[in-house]
């Protein structure tokens, strides 16, 4: 379990339940001395509090964390947590989705569902599935991820990278800026397509030669009206989410008919 709340100074407090004393001691030994947060520990509970007003609200960065310590923390805290992680060599980010982040993400998920229903194809939606590869020292939890082209290949089975392919599409809704280069992490994991919504802008990135490049067309859904997505998300604040999804479905249907 975890609790996280910004206070009046825009600081963030994260409480991780289930952390053992040996893991806490290892973490303290690894992380850098020059840090912008306070640490407190009582039996089975680790508290981290951001004390830098300039830091990203809703998240904390831990520098110097080894892969083995990252794995120990994840195993001890367990499932059912609300926060998400990203890990690159030596750097662990803990982040709590904000309300401003969740609404666009859920609309984008509904847009994906509307397209596959209109096309009559299958989809495997796995939400914020933890994607990690130990040999690359990379891990990330997307806001949402989908198997589309590879849905049949992974249907009904537990995903284990790199034995299984990465998701065909991931969604990131970035209301606050991440301190980690998540595109670099997704590229290392081999995710072919990424949608990013941030500050009323929507972008599609396709993986090419190990790097993401902006694209004016979705690989999974060539019929996606990329330029219309931000306007639709904003319009949902006036007409409602379901009305927006119905409007999106109508535009997809018209596009396919053309």
Domains for the chain: give ranges and CATH numbers. Answer: 2-95 (no CATH), 99-257 (3.90.1570)
Q: Which H/E stretch holds residue 99? A: helix 99-119
| Sequential pLDDT tens for the chain (258 residues) | 333 334 434 567 788 999 999 999 999 999 976 677 889 999 999 998 887 644 455 678 899 999 999 999 999 998 878 788 999 999 999 987 776 778 999 999 999 999 999 999 999 999 999 999 999 999 999 999 999 999 999 999 999 999 999 999 999 997 556 667 899 999 999 999 999 999 899 999 999 999 999 999 999 999 999 999 999 999 999 999 999 999 999 999 998 888
Q: What's the sign of the alpha-carbon dihedral 122, 127, 133, 134? A: negative
Q: Where are the beta strands (DSSP E) in the chain?
A: 2-6, 12-17, 37-42, 45-50, 59-65, 84-88, 90-95, 124-125, 131-133, 138-140, 144-147, 169-173, 193-198, 201-208, 211-215
Q: Assign 248 to helix, strand or coil.
A: helix
Q: How much is the pTM?
A: 0.89
CA distance 221 to 116: 9
């Amino acid at each position: 379990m975890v609790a996280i709340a910004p206070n009046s100074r825009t600081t963030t407090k994260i409480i991780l339940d289930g952390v053992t004393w040996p893991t806490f001691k290892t973490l303290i030994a690894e992380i850098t001395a020059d840090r912008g947060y306070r640490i407190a520990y009582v039996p089975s509970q680790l508290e981290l509090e951001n004390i830098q007003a300039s830091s990203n609200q809703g998240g904390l960065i831990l520098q110097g964390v080894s892969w083995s310590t990252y794995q120990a923390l994840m195993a001890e805290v367990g499932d059912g947590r609300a926060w998400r992680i990203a890990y690159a060599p030596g750097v662990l980010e803990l982040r709590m989705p904000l309300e401003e982040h969740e609404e666009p993400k859920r609309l984008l998920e509904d847009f994906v569902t509307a397209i596959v229903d209109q096309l009559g194809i299958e989809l495997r939606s796995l939400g914020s599935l933890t994607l990690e590869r130990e040999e690359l020292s990379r891990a990330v939890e997307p806001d949402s991820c989908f198997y589309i082209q590879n849905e049949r290949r992974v249907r009904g089975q537990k995903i284990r990278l790199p034995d299984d392919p990465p998701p065909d599409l991931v969604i990131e809704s970035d209301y606050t800026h991440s301190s980690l280069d998540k595109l670099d992490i997704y590229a290392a994991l081999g995710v072919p397509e990424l949608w990013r919504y941030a500050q009323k802008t929507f972008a599609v990135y396709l993986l090419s030669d190990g790097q993401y490049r902006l694209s004016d067309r979705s690989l999974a859904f060539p019929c996606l009206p990329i330029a219309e997505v931000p306007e639709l998300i904003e319009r949902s604040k006036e007409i409602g989410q379901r009305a927006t999804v119905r409007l999106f479905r109508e535009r997809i249907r018209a596009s396919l008919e053309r």
